[in-house]
Structure 1
Amino acid sequence: MKIVVLTGAGISAESGLKTFRDADGLWEGYNVYDVATPEAWERNPVLVQQFYNERRKQVITAKPNRAHEILAELEAHFDVEIITQNIDDLHERAGSTKVTHLHGVITKSQSDRRADLTYVIEGDEIKMGDLCELGTQLRPHVVWFGEAVPMIEVAAKICRQADLFVLIGTSLAVYPAAGLIDFIPSATKKYIIDPRTPDVGRYKNVTTIQQSAVEGMSALKEILLNGR
C-alpha cells in the first residue's frame, strides 16, 4: 500500500520550531514580507541572510519528534512518501527516505541566479560574499512568497498514486500546496491530523483526528498496524 503524507508546520512545532506564520502574521517577530520575498532580498539581503542563519541554527539544534519517527517506522510496512511544506530536515533525520520538499530546505543554499544550483551548507551560516559557481551570492534554498514552487508537479504526481492519504499539521491555507489534496483519488481513504481540523467537507472518505501530530500519529499507527 502506498501512503502519501502531506506535512505542515504543526508537526515541526512539536520539535520546538515556530510555525512559519503566526496568527498575527509574524515569523519570529518579523513580518514575513520583510524576510521571505524576493523583494526583501533585493532590498536588504543582509537582514534576510541573518534571519535564515538564525532559523537554520534552530533547525540544527531541534530533534525529530515521535510523529516524525512513526512516519519513518511505517516504511517497514508500507510504501511511504512524504511531501512537506516545512523547510527543516527533521523527516530525513528521523529516518524517512522518500521526502519531497515543496518549499526547499534550509540546510542548503542556492544560487542567487539559478534556483536549481544548490549546495549543502558547511556549518550553520551562509555569509555575504559566499558565491555559487556562477559567481553570484548564495541565498537560502527556500521558496519565498511570490516565487514558483518547482516541486509542485512532482508532488501532484505522487498524490495521484496514493492508496491512503494523511494530512498532518497544516490548515490547507497556503497555495499551491493546499491544492494537492485535490489530486488524491476520491476513493482513497484520507486521514486529517490536526487539533484544528481544516474545512475538508467537500472531500470523500475523510477521517479526522483532532489531536496534535504526535498524539494523532500514535493513534494512526495503531489503526494501520492493528486495525483499531
Structure 2
Amino acid sequence: MNNDTLQGFREAFANAKHIIVIAGAGLSAASGIPTFRDGGGMWRSLDATSLATPEAFHENPSLVWQFYHYRRQKALQAETNTAHKILAKLAIPHYLKKVAPAAKSMHLITQNVDRLSVRALDDLEKELEEQGLKGPSYRARTGSVVQMHGKLFEVQCTKCDWRAEDFSTPLCPALGHVEANIQDYTDAGSKNHDIPISLLPHCPECQELARPGVVWFGEKPYHLDQINSLVFKADMCLVIGTSSTVHPAAGYAFRVRRRHGHVAIFNLYPSEKDENASSLFRGACEDILPQVFPELADP
C-alpha cells in the first residue's frame, strides 16, 4: 500500500463532514457469499443474472424460488467479516470520531441483499450495550444502513402490499425437499425439479404467489430519494467491493467527485470507474480496510 495514498486519504477522511459508503458484492465475498459476476455465476450451470429478473420469475417461479432458497441458505450460513465489522464501527459515533472527528453523518448504501452489514451493526450495538456503553454515542443513527436492492429475507406478495421478513428455512416444505434431492449445487440448474405453484410461498393475506423481496434487474431500487439526498451532501465517498457497473449506484461516486468531494475506491480488480478515484486501494476489502483504519480493527 502506498504510504502517500494512505496519508492523503486519512487526512481527507479526518476532515470529511458527510461520509457515504457504496458497497457491493466484494464486501461479502470473504463471508462465502458468491457474487453474480464471478466464474460461472452462483449456480454454475445457469447464468445467475438471468434468474434475477421479473421475466424469469414469471416464466419459471419454481426455478427462481429454488435459486433464492439457495441464496438464503448461503446467507444464513455466512458470518460477518472484518470489513463488515469496520464499516459497522464507522456507523457508531464513538468510533467514527476516532478517524473522522469532523464528521456529522455516515451512511452505508449497500447493493447487497444478504443482510450481513445490518447483522454486523446489530451485533456491535448489542456488544456495546452488554458492556454498559449506552446513549447516542454508542448507537447508530436510524437509517445509517440503506439497503437499496432490498432484502433477501423479505418475502412480498405479487399482488397486494403484504411483505414481511422471514428467516425460517425452508420457506415451504417443497423447497426443502428439492434441496435434499440435490447433492451438489454446481449441477443444480441442470436438473429439473419443478415445484407446482401451489406449493411455493404464498401471501397469507390474499393467498397469491409470493416473491423474494429483492430488486431484480430492470426494477427500480429502493430509497432513491434518500440516497440522492445523501449523495448530494457527501464530501467523502468510499466505494467498496463493487465495479460500479449497475446503475444508478454506478454514478454516485462520479457525482461526489464532480462536486470536488473525495472518492476512495477499495476493490480487488481494476475498473474503468477508477478514474473517478481520489484515492485507490487495490486488494480484498477485508484485508485493506484494517490497514487503512487500524484503530477500528479488532485486536
Q: TM-score range by the shorter chain?
A: 0.7 to 0.9
Judged with a 3 Å threshold, the aligned counterparts in structure 2 of structure 1 residues 198 and 129 are, in CA distance, closer, same or farther, namely closer
What is the rounded CA distance, in whole Å, between the counterparts of 1:135 and 1:104 in structure 2?
22
What is the rounded CA distance, in whole Å, between the counterparts of 1:201 and 1:19 in structure 2?
20
**Could you say which structure has the greater relative contact order, defined with CA pairs below 8 angstroms and 6 or more residues apart?**
2
Aligned residue among 140, 150, 157 for 1:104 = 150
Residues 126-205 of structure 1 aligned to structure 2 (within 5 Å): 126-127=171-172, 128-184=200-256, 186-200=259-273, 203=276
Please state whether the residue corresponding to 2:219 is helix, strand or coil. Answer: coil
The answer to whether the 8 A contact 1:152-1:177 is kept is: no
What is the rounded CA distance, in whole Å, between the counterparts of 1:155 and 1:142 in structure 2?
17
* CA deviation map 1:9-33 (0-9, x unaligned): 1111011111123255x33222135
Instruction: Looking at secondary structure, tell me which structure has more helix per residue.
Output: 2
Runs of 4+ in 1 over 4 A off after TM superposition: none
Please state whether the residue corresponding to 1:27 is helix, strand or coil. Answer: coil
Judged with a 3 Å threshold, the aligned counterparts in structure 2 of structure 1 residues 45 and 213 are, in CA distance, closer, same or farther, namely same
Partner of 2:165: 120
Cα displacement (A) at 1:122: 4.1
The answer to whether the 8 A contact 1:194-1:210 is kept is: yes
Cα displacement (A) at 1:202: 5.0
Cα displacement (A) at 1:34: 4.0
What is the rounded CA distance, in whole Å, between the counterparts of 2:49 and 2:284 in structure 1?
28
What is the rounded CA distance, in whole Å, between the counterparts of 2:64 and 2:267 in structure 1?
31
What is the rounded CA distance, in whole Å, between the counterparts of 1:14 and 1:32 in structure 2?
19
Partner of 2:47: 31
The answer to whether the 8 A contact 1:11-1:67 is kept is: yes
Cα displacement (A) at 1:182: 3.2
Tell me which moved more, 168-177 or 59-68: 168-177
Judged with a 3 Å threshold, the aligned counterparts in structure 2 of structure 1 residues 73 and 122 are, in CA distance, closer, same or farther, namely closer
Partner of 2:5: none
Q: How many residues align?
A: 221
Counting aligned pairs with the same residue, the percent is: 32
What is the rounded CA distance, in whole Å, between the counterparts of 1:34 and 1:202 in structure 2?
30
> Is residue 43 of structure 1 aligned with residue 59 of structure 2?
yes
The answer to whether the 8 A contact 1:110-1:132 is kept is: no
Which AA in structure 2 matches 1:89?
A: R
Partner of 1:69: 85
The answer to whether the 8 A contact 2:110-2:148 is kept is: yes
State TM-score, norm by structure 2: 0.68
What is the rounded CA distance, in whole Å, between the counterparts of 1:111 and 1:58 in structure 2?
23
Cα displacement (A) at 1:99: 1.0
Partner of 2:18: 2
Q: Which runs of 5+ in 1 are unaligned?
A: none
State TM-score, norm by structure 1: 0.87
Q: Which runs of 5+ in 2 are unaligned?
A: 1-16, 97-104, 123-139, 173-199
> Is residue 210 of structure 1 aligned with residue 225 of structure 2?
no
